[in-house]
C-alpha cells in the first residue's frame, strides 16, 4: 500500500509537470498568433494607405495628361491655321509671279543674259509646276478643252504638229507662244496623245539640247538655248502626265524596248556633260541635271544607271520643285 501511494504521488507530480509544459506551450502559441495578427493588421493598414496614395497620384497624372493633350491639340490647331494661311499667301504669290513670268523673260532676253538667278529659278519652277498639272485650285489633273472631235480647241496647232511628228515645229510653236505658256501646257499631254509615237516625238525634241562644244557657262548666257532646254524638260514631264492617264499595257506599248534603248543612248551621251557642272554655281537649280533625271524617270531607264551616281545629282536640282517627285520616280527617296 505504501508503494502504491508513492506511485500515485509520482504520477501526480509527472502529470502536473506535463500540464504546465502544455500550458506554457499553448500560451506561447497564443502570443505568437496575436503578434502575427497585429503585424497583419499593420500591413493591411499600410497597404490601404498606399492604395489611396496611388489612386490619388493616378488621378493627378490623368488630369495632367488630359491638360497636356488639350494644350497639344490647341497648338496643333494653331499650326494648322498658320499653315493654311501660309499656303493661301503662297498661292497668291504664285499667281502673281506666273502673271509676271513672261515680262521677266523678255527683260532677261534683252539684257543678253539668262543665268539661273534666284528669280529665274523661281519662275522656271513655277513654269514647271504648270507642266505637272498644278493649277491655282490645287488640282493635279490636266484640264483640256475639247471641241467634240477629240482635238484641243484652244491650240489645234499642237495636235497638228504632234500628228505630223514635227518636233522642231513643236519647239518653235511653244517658243512663239510663251506668253500663253500656262494655258498651253495644260493641253500638251492630250496633244502628244494624238502623235503616232509620242515617245519618239519627245525624244526627237531633245536633239539640240546640247549644241556642239558649248560650255555650261556659255549655255547659261544663251537665252534661246535656255528656252529650248526648258521646253525639252516640259515635254518630258507632259509625256509622264500622259502616261498617268493610260493603263500599264498602253504605256508599255508606247515605251517599247527600242524607245528605251534610244532614250538610254541619249542619257549616256548626256551623262559625261554633267561632270563639268559646278554644284555651287548651279544653286541647286541645274537645267542639265534636271533634264537628265527627267529623261530617266519618263522613260523608266533609271535601273540602267548607278544609283549612287544618280543620288549625287540630286543636290544639283534640290531647289527645283520637281525634285521630290523626281526622286520618288527614280527610287531615290
The per-residue pLDDT for 2 is 66
Three-state SS at 261: helix
Q: Which sign does the torsion angle of CA 105, 108, 114, 120 carry? A: negative
pLDDT at 172: 92
Helix/strand/coil percentages in the chain, nearest 5: 75, 0, 20
What do you get for the CA distance between the two ends of the chain, in Å?
A: 118
| SS3 label, residue 146 | strand
The residue count of the chain comes to 333
Question: Rounded to an integer, what distance in angstroms lies between the CA atom of residue 266 and that of residue 261?
Answer: 9
pLDDT of residue 128: 44
CA dist list (Å): 131 to 41, 52, 230, 241: 82, 68, 11, 9
Asked if residue 286 lies in contact with residue 261, where contact means CB atoms within 8 angstroms, the answer is no
Please list the residues that pair with 146 across neighbouring strands.
152
Neighbours of 225 (CB within 10 A): 19
Print pLDDT tens along the chain (333 aa).
Answer: 666 666 666 666 677 767 777 888 888 889 989 999 999 999 999 999 999 999 999 999 999 999 999 988 888 888 888 888 878 787 777 666 555 544 434 444 444 433 333 334 433 443 444 344 333 333 333 334 343 334 434 788 999 999 999 999 999 999 988 888 888 888 999 999 999 999 999 999 999 898 776 666 677 778 888 999 999 999 999 999 999 988 989 999 999 999 999 999 999 999 998 887 765 445 778 889 999 999 999 999 999 999 999 998 888 888 888 888 888 889 886
Q: Are 188 and 234 in contact (CB under 8 A)?
A: yes
Q: Name the β-bridge partners of 152.
A: 146
Report phi then psi at 152, rounded to 5. -75, 125
The pLDDT, as a whole number, for residue 129 is 43
Q: Is 152 helix (H, G, I), strand (E, B) or coil?
A: strand
DSSP label at 332?
Answer: -
Q: 108: which 3 cell numbers? A: 532677261
| Residues 297, 185: Cα–Cα separation, whole Å | 19
Q: Nine-digit cell at 52? A: 489611396
Residue 267's closest CA among 309, 225, 328? 309
Amino acid at each position: 500500500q505504501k508503494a502504491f501511494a508513492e506511485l500515485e504521488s509520482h504520477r501526480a507530480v509527472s502529470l502536473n509537470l506535463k500540464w504546465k509544459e502544455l500550458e506554457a506551450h499553448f500560451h506561447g502559441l497564443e502570443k505568437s498568433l496575436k503578434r502575427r495578427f497585429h503585424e497583419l493588421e499593420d500591413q493591411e493598414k499600410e497597404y490601404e494607405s498606399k492604395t489611396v496614395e496611388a489612386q490619388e497620384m493616378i488621378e493627378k497624372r490623368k488630369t495632367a495628361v488630359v491638360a497636356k493633350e488639350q494644350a497639344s491639340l490647341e497648338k496643333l490647331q494653331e499650326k494648322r491655321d498658320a499653315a493654311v494661311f501660309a499656303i493661301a499667301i503662297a498661292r497668291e504669290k504664285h499667281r502673281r509671279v506666273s502673271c509676271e513670268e513672261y515680262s521677266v523673260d523678255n527683260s532677261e532676253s534683252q539684257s543678253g543674259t539668262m543665268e539661273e538667278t534666284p528669280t529665274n529659278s523661281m519662275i522656271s519652277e513655277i513654269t514647271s509646276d504648270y507642266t505637272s498639272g498644278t493649277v491655282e485650285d490645287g488640282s493635279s489633273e490636266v484640264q483640256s478643252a475639247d471641241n467634240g472631235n477629240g482635238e484641243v480647241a484652244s491650240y489645234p496647232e499642237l495636235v497638228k504638229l504632234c500628228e505630223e511628228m514635227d518636233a522642231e515645229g513643236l519647239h518653235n510653236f511653244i517658243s512663239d507662244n510663251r506668253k500663253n505658256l500656262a494655258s498651253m501646257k495644260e493641253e500638251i499631254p492630250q496633244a502628244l496623245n494624238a502623235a503616232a509615237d509620242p515617245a519618239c516625238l519627245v525624244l526627237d525634241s531633245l536633239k539640240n539640247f546640247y549644241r556642239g562644244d558649248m560650255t555650261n557657262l556659255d549655255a547659261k548666257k544663251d537665252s534661246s538655248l535656255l528656252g529650248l532646254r526648258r521646253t525639252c524638260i516640259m515635254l518630258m514631264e507632259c509625256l509622264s502626265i500622259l502616261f498617268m492617264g493610260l493603263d500599264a499595257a498602253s504605256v508599255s506599248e508606247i515605251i517599247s524596248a527600242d524607245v528605251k534603248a534610244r532614250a538610254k543612248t541619249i542619257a549616256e551621251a548626256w551623262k559625261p556633260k554633267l561632270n563639268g557642272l559646278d554644284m555651287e554655281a548651279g544653286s541647286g537649280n541645274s537645267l542639265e541635271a534636271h533634264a537628265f533625271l527627267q529623261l530617266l524617270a519618263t522613260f523608266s531607264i533609271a535601273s540602267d544607271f548607278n544609283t549612287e551616281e544618280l543620288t549625287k545629282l540630286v543636290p544639283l536640282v534640290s531647289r527645283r520643285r520637281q525634285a521630290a517627285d523626281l526622286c520618288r520616280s527614280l527610287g531615290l527617296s
